[in-house]
Structure 1
């Protein structure tokens, strides 16, 4: 739920943990946080709805917001969406399962995309106190300190965003994206990626290693998610309140960060720009080339709302938007 966890899951072969059994944190929020949440949502365009239809001329796009982690309650949703996918001319994912599998297989021969292969390690770039706190959190996720010391900071950020109870759960990453992939494969629907994994790697490495380490240290508390955060995110997703997920992450992340509001807002703005604004704009280059056909666009639900969201961007391009059953 926190920050980088919204990007998705890249699971390494770690020690197994118990199944996640968290509870929804929203009813436990203080009145002040409840008010802050409602205020943050008041001006957000398209804050709800996991299935929207965008039409322009003979082009029809079904935008489906996804959740990358699995939830048994997704089964009936997929049944309802199956006819949509089965009749589409094509389906577009952030990155197709096939491309992701190829990337993961490539790591067996070259770990440099996610590991520091030369130069100082994270132990050399952090204070002893900061390293001890970080390595303890990673140990809960089955990542030994000797391995963590050589991981790229952005990759560790994602690891922190995965609740320990999810590590090595064989079904953890069979979320909505994977389930829609199964449907597309069963019906022979062509699948396409909206981005290349290589471009994602380059995006994460735009900052120097030292800058990435500084951000990791400053935000390590805000990045960590547990079973309760996972349950809250899943519930909000299935209620189709995707903008709420993002704003909850922002509010709760600030409380856990220990940073000043100014410093935290700067970190959040950078996260938002990299993982949402820039990627949405890049995806639009591909989406706008879809002409005179019916296509499904299945991407993380957090990419739908806000002025920079895909729905607002399509509206500005002259598409008519209609919320559809999910």
Structure 2
């Protein structure tokens, strides 16, 4: 798998890939909610974008509610590969090998040390802008620990929707999501890159803790993991990628509740955890939100 494909699947988790059953399956029961009125039901399911293949979650109430739904709604719909490649090149790549030239001597030492620990050549990401390279650094240790992009819930759900003839749509566009990172000033992008490099020793442990909380339906634990992740981002960036988007999605859900039908909405689990979450804002707006699992 190319580095481009690894990054794209981690960030968006929407390219369709098969998943075989594992003989050592571990059953998870992640949280699931429903927002209802007289003629509309919207199921809300929080995802993690990277799982080990033995993690089984698409069963029970999640499988049942998905089967009853008319449409699948993801953060971003399954992308066209060629269009995606153009957008990533436009927003995330230099015209030539420039990345290490933009780092200070101290930053360069940290970055190249991280690349060596991952077994990657020091120039492997030289065409990437710092925000894109930071994502690539996050992928590698998880892959080495057995996490697979093909097991991502969005991937499995989109695959199931395709096979069952369910329409799939998105709350946002890929250009919008990637544009949030690309719009960061260079200094903040380099901050992200160095934090990713320094965080390598704890990357797998942190991911394990996040997945365990998610699999238990532990919303408080997922929220704690989210706060830890936000701490590695530029301080002014967290509201743009979390709070502001939650607010827009709540507006979308409230508008969609005026139309009849049944939808299955799957977004990152962090958006459904905490006092500013989609769930909390929907309840504050007076909608009936029931936790199903």
TM-score (norm 2): 0.77
Q: 1:161 aligns with which of 117, 138, 156?
A: 138
Equivalent of 1:199, from 176, 185, 189?
Answer: 176
Secondary structure, counterpart of 1:112 in structure 2? helix
Partner of 1:288, secondary structure, is helix
Task: Tell me whether 1:306 sits opposite 2:274 in the alignment.
Answer: yes
Greater displacement, 298-307 / 216-225:
216-225
Alignment of 1:95-114 (within 5 A): 95-96=76-77, 98-99=78-79, 102-103=80-81, 106-107=84-85, 111-114=89-92
| Cα distance, 1:57 vs structure 2 | 3.6
- Please give the per-residue CA displacement for 1:60-114, whole angstroms capped at 9, x wherever unaligned: 1110111111234543543542221121121101112x21xx2466427972332
Asked whether 1:217 is paired with 2:185, we answer no
- Tell me the CA shift for residue 249 of structure 1: 5.7
Contact 1:122 1:150 in 2 (8 A): yes
Alpha-carbon distance in 2 for matches of 1:62, 1:189: 15
Q: What's the TM-score, normalizing by structure 1?
A: 0.70
Q: Name the CA distance, whole Å, in 1 between partners of 2:54 and 2:131.
A: 31
Superposed CA RMSD in Å reads 3.3
Q: 1:10 to 1:268 in 2, by over 3 A?
A: closer
Q: Which range is displaced more, 73-82 or 202-211?
A: 73-82
1:274-313 → structure 2 map (5 Å cutoff): 274-290=240-256, 291-313=259-281
- Partner residue of 1:270? 236
Supply the distance in 2 between the matched residues of 1:173 and 1:69 (Cα, whole angstroms). Answer: 8
Structure 2 gap ranges (5+): 1-7, 13-28
Gaps of 5+ in 1: 1-6, 12-47, 255-263
Structure 1 segment 1-326 matched on structure 2, within 5 A: 9-10=10-11, 50-72=31-53, 74-96=55-77, 98-99=78-79, 102-103=80-81, 106-107=84-85, 111-117=89-95, 121-141=98-118, 143-166=120-143, 171-217=148-194, 220-222=197-199, 225-248=202-225, 250=227, 267=233, 269-290=235-256, 291-325=259-293
